[in-house]
């Protein structure tokens, strides 16, 4: 049974994600205009590439440079993988790089499965159409995939994050205001507002605070909902006013942040 999905992120440089799950579908010799970045999560994939027959078991990465001709098939039974396709220009824009050297090795082992997890997080973001701040979460997930791939396997040197206290404070103020006013947030807008590139803002925010911009948005939304609940606002209304798509989403995030559901919040 085929369970493939193909996502096109039109507002983020046309980046695409292929969620593959197949056993009998072969791909004839072809090439991609941009980079192809994937991770085998189950089974084994097969390639004919660079004149060599390759078998990629679970835990392997698949890293293709632009215009690199190859075939594809499931080598043993069902194969599952997530694969991102991104043009060279889009990768440079997302990571704030002037040039890319590409991937020297097609099928390295994934270090600590970091890239596998990053690709899976992107798939979750794209499949959860009702999630709050989905655009911001997707932008961060794409950044994580590309940063992991090119810094670890593409010899790219990303700018080391600084503490940037003024920019981080301005970012937090912008998030607070947006949550209070019910505005949508994007990584591009946040970075532009504080005068940093999106990639550098993510890394600097994580270094200075331990959270990414999206992590701060969720923290501030949950805190706003908590204060509303303490003021006697019903959970469904508090969820809507804090910017969650529904009460169930608030419950999940509330439990993640406080260890209890909103119903366990007791005012004395």
Give 2's pLDDT tier (boundaries 50, 70, 90). Answer: low
Total Cβ atoms within 10 A of residue 143: 23
- Asked whether the beta carbons of 29 and 70 are under 8 A apart, the reply is yes
Tokens of 80: 């599952």
pLDDT at residue 1 in the model: 47
Per-residue model confidence as pLDDT tens digits over 31-50:
999 999 999 999 999 999 98
Q: Is 243 a residue whose pLDDT tops 60? A: yes
Tell me what pLDDT residue 163 has: 84
Which residue stretches of 64-113 are H helix?
Answer: 88-95
CB distance 150 to 143 below 8 Å:
no
Average pLDDT, the chain: 94
Helix (H) or strand (E) holding 182: none
The pLDDT of residue 257: 95
Averaged over 248-260, what is the pLDDT?
Answer: 94
Helix (H) or strand (E) holding 7: strand 5-9
| pLDDT number for residue 62 | 97
Examine the pLDDT at 83 and tell me if it is beyond 60.
Answer: yes
**pLDDT number for residue 162:** 86
Distance CA 103, CA 152 (A): 10
Distances (CA, A) of 113 to 42, 59, 130, 148, 178: 13, 7, 28, 10, 35
212 pLDDT band, cuts 50/70/90, is very high
pLDDT of residue 161: 92
Q: What is the pLDDT of residue 132?
A: 75
| Domain architecture of the chain: domains with CATH | 5-152 (2.60.120.280), 165-262 (1.10.10.60)
Taking only the tens place, the pLDDT of each residue in 118-132 is 999 999 999 987 777
**With pLDDT > 70 as the criterion, what percentage of the chain qualifies?**
99
Look at phi and psi of residue 28 and say left if phi exceeds 0, alpha if psi is from -120 to 50, else beta.
beta
Average pLDDT over residues 4-19: 96
CA nearest 211: which of 167, 168, 181, 153?
Answer: 168
Q: What is the pLDDT of residue 259?
A: 96
Cα(197)–Cα(195) distance, rounded to whole angstroms? 7
pLDDT tens for each residue of 158-181: 999 988 999 999 999 999 999 999
Mean pLDDT across 230-248: 94
* Intra-chain end-to-end CA distance of the chain, in Å: 55
* Contact status, residue 80 vs residue 135, Cβ threshold 8 Å: no
């Amino acid at each position: 049974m085929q369970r493939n999905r193909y996502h096109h992120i039109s507002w983020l440089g046309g980046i695409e994600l292929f969620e593959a799950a197949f056993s009998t579908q072969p791909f004839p010799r072809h090439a991609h205009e941009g980079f192809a970045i994937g991770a085998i999560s189950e089974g084994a994939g097969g390639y004919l590439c660079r004149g060599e027959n390759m078998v990629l078991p679970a835990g392997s990465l698949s890293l293709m440079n632009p215009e690199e001709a190859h075939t594809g098939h499931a080598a043993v039974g069902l194969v599952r993988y997530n694969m991102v396709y991104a043009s060279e220009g889009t990768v440079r824009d997302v990571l704030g790089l002037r040039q890319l050297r590409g991937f020297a090795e097609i099928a390295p082992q994934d270090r600590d499965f970091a890239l596998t997890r990053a690709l899976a997080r992107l798939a979750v973001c794209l499949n959860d159409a009702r999630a709050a701040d989905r655009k911001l979460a997707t932008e961060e997930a794409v950044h994580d995939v590309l940063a992991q791939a090119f810094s670890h396997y593409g010899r790219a040197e990303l700018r080391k994050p600084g503490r940037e206290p003024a920019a981080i404070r301005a970012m937090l103020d912008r998030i607070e205001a947006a949550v209070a006013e019910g505005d949508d947030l994007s990584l591009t807008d946040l970075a532009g507002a504080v005068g940093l590139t999106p990639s550098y803002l993510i890394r600097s925010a994580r270094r200075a605070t331990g959270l990414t911009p999206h992590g701060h948005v969720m923290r501030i939304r949950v805190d706003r909902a908590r204060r509303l609940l303490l003021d006697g606002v019903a959970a469904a209304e508090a969820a809507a006013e804090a910017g969650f798509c529904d009460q169930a989403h608030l419950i999940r995030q509330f439990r993640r942040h406080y260890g209890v559901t909103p119903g366990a919040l007791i005012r004395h």
